[in-house]
């Protein structure tokens, strides 16, 4: 049995992200079989016990995750081509009045926010920004199994067997897509449930079967729904919510 970097083991076990693991190790907040480890790049056997000191646990607890109902025209991440990033929507005035999370908004809650599942500029709906590397990994890591649900308004004529192909049988960039759940919601709207998120995936899938997307809204990520969060407003992920 070979030793593995402790930061890698911590990430695989869902304790934190690799970057967070390195920061905790530097501070002496990580123990392997009860012994403090403070050397970056240190390794351990995969069957050894790894625990976090209370200071690291407290830091994780203080990290926030924010849910935004992103409007069309905002980019998910960094500002580009003159467009405004969704994080610019987050301030005390735009917080949802129905937010039941008791914490007060602080400017520090904007530090280090990472987008956990992008939503393109032409789409709206549920966008997750988080300071917690565990949540980001859970939602967008290579082995993530969290599904995402979309309402998609379309135009055009669906090709023969098109609905079946949307569910399973299409390929993008030379790679077969994972099975999806796609059904008609009404005469001009489809409901998609996906477990992957290639760039502009739904729009490209629809094009392959003769449809053009004219409106796309993400309404759910895992067990967390957009609900009645108003367009352009945000709220905190509650302590009792899990994706």
Mean pLDDT of the chain: 91
Arithmetic mean of pLDDT, 197-213: 95
CA distance 200 to 48: 42
Arithmetic mean of pLDDT, 71-92: 88
* Contact in structure between 208 and 170 (CB atoms under 8 Å): yes
Q: What CATH code is assigned to 63-143+224-236?
A: 3.30.70.580
Q: What is the pLDDT of residue 132?
A: 87
Q: What CATH code is assigned to 148-221?
A: 3.30.70.1560
Arithmetic mean of pLDDT, 171-194: 95
**Which of 21-30, 84-93, 137-146, 147-156 has the lowest average pLDDT?**
137-146
pLDDT one-digit tens code per residue, 134-154: 888 888 877 788 999 999 999
Q: What is the pLDDT of residue 134?
A: 81
If one counts every other C-beta atom within 10 angstroms of the C-beta of residue 233, the result is: 19
Q: Where are the domains of the chain?
A: 4-61, 63-143+224-236, 148-221
- Do domains 4-61 and 148-221 share one topology? The answer is no
User: Which burial class, exposed, middle or buried, applies to 121 when counting CB atoms under 10 A from its CB (0-12, 13-18, 19+)?
Assistant: middle
Looking at domain 4-61, its CATH class is alpha beta
Task: Answer yes or no: 120 catalytic.
Answer: yes
**Which of 56-65, 121-130, 131-140, 220-229 has the lowest average pLDDT?**
56-65
Catalytic hit among 33, 47, 99, 120:
120
Q: What is the pLDDT of residue 194?
A: 95
């Amino acid at each position: 049995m070979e030793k593995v970097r402790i930061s890698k083991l911590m990430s695989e076990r869902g304790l934190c992200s690799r970057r967070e693991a390195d920061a905790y190790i530097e501070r002496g907040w990580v123990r392997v079989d009860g012994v403090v480890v403070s050397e970056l790049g240190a390794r351990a056997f995969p069957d050894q016990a790894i625990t976090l000191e209370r200071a690291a646990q407290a830091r994780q607890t203080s990290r926030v995750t924010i849910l935004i109902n992103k409007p069309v025209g905002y980019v998910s991440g960094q500002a580009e081509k003159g467009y405004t990033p969704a994080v610019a929507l987050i301030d005390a005035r735009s917080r949802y009045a129905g937010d039941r999370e008791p914490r007060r908004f602080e400017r520090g809650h904007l530090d280090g926010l990472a987008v956990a599942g992008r939503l393109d500029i032409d789409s709206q709906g549920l966008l997750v920004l988080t300071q917690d590397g565990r949540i980001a990994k859970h939602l967008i890591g290579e082995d993530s199994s969290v599904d995402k649900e979309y309402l998609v308004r379309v135009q055009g004529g669906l090709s023969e067997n098109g609905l079946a192909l949307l569910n399973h049988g299409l390929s993008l960039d030379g790679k077969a897509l994972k099975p999806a759940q796609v059904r008609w919601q009404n005469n001009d709207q489809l409901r998609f449930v996906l477990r992957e998120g290639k760039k502009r995936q739904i729009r490209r899938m629809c094009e392959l079967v003769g449809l053009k997307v004219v409106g796309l809204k993400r309404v759910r990520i895992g067990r967390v729904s957009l609900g009645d969060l108003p367009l352009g407003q945000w709220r905190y992920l509650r302590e009792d919510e899990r994706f």
